[in-house]
């Protein structure tokens, strides 16, 4: 008997899965990822790895889910809905990292080689550790070789490589060391490098060529979830069919706009605004934050999606 799934037409909407922890404050983790997917017109699915009691001031409690339940979520969703891209965030333990890596390898064999964006979440904005030492080793050995793109910030790149990063040259050395761990592309984010400078410079490296992605450094406390939003945006653009360099460049522009248009919430590090392109009814902003009341909604949508 023919499997009815074989008779279904291809998905009419880009799909992306996030495998990450929950942020009860809504600014990071699964919540930020799904908001970003939605803002960029990608259908988002999720597999939770952990629940956190968290707000803008920090992480106040963590409840980890069993690795077998994490993989159960991945399996039932990908078996039914499939995906065009996956991103990982907070994975917490070596067991979860290994289990996620094994299932992603399996589903790539089943569904085809969909891109995987690895955000190596290790430390919360407030300083709480989110990945133990054995999990860091599992990340290097099992997950990074599967990554299409890995997106460490300065602190995560230092943890992964053991190198100290204080300059762009240091970041280049770290990116090269991370590339040797197996990912196809490395983005070392510049938000915590040269923090007194006027620009935030991300480095993109594929083992041969370097690209510097520059944007204005916005002075604000509303930076909670920036790494989650950035990596989710890369996954969304990859799901939409963009190549890695363009997906990363569009995501850089998108997260800069989300920071620029953030609204103050809470007493600590507030969230970014992933829906800023759609703040004006009928006239969504472009990915660079620009708006024009006279342009058509269709033109604005093309701008947001990077089709300029």
Catalytic residues: 189, 223, 225-228
How far are the Cα atoms of 5, 79, 80, 81, 100 from residue 1, in angstroms, in the given order? 12, 18, 18, 21, 32
Tell me how far apart the alpha carbons of residues 58 and 35 are, in angstroms, rounded to a whole number: 21
Find the helix or strand (DSSP H, E) in which 88 lies: strand 86-88
- H-type alpha helices, 123-240: 133-138, 154-161, 168-179, 226-239
Distance, CA of 68 to CA of 265 (rounded, Å): 36
- Residue 122's CB is within 10 A of a number of other CB atoms, namely 21
With vertex at residue 34, the alpha carbon angle to CA 33 and CA 39, rounded to the nearest 5 degrees, is 100
């Amino acid at each position: 008997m023919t499997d009815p799934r074989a008779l279904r037409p291809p998905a009419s909407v880009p799909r992306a899965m996030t495998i990450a922890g929950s942020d009860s404050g809504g600014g990071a983790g699964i919540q930020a990822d799904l908001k970003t997917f939605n803002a960029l017109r990608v259908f988002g699915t999720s597999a939770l790895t952990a629940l956190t009691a968290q707000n803008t001031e920090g992480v106040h409690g963590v409840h980890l889910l069993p690795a077998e339940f994490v993989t159960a979520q991945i399996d039932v969703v990908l078996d039914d809905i499939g995906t065009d891209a996956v991103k990982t965030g907070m994975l917490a333990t070596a067991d979860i990292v290994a289990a996620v890596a094994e299932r992603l390898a399996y589903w790539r064999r089943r569904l085809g080689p969909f891109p995987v964006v690895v955000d190596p979440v290790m430390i919360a904005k407030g300083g709480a550790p989110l990945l133990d030492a054995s999990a860091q080793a599992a990340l290097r050995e099992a997950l990074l070789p599967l990554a299409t793109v890995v997106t460490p910030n300065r602190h995560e790149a230092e943890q992964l490589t053991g190198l100290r990063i204080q300059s762009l040259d240091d970041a280049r050395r770290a990116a090269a060391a991370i590339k040797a761990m197996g990912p196809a592309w490395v983005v070392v984010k510049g938000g915590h490098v040269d923090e007194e400078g006027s620009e935030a410079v991300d480095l993109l490296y594929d083992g041969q060529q370097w690209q510097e992605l520059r944007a204005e450094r916005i002075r604000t406390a509303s930076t909670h979830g920036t790494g989650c939003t950035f990596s989710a945006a890369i996954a969304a653009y990859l799901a939409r069919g963009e190549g890695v360099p363009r997906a990363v460049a569009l995501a850089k522009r998108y997260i800069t706009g989300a920071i620029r248009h953030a609204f103050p919430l809470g007493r600590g590090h507030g969230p970014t605004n992933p829906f800023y392109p759609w703040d004006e009814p009928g006239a969504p902003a472009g990915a660079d934050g620009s708006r024009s009341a006279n342009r058509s909604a269709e033109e604005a949508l093309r701008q947001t999606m990077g089709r300029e």
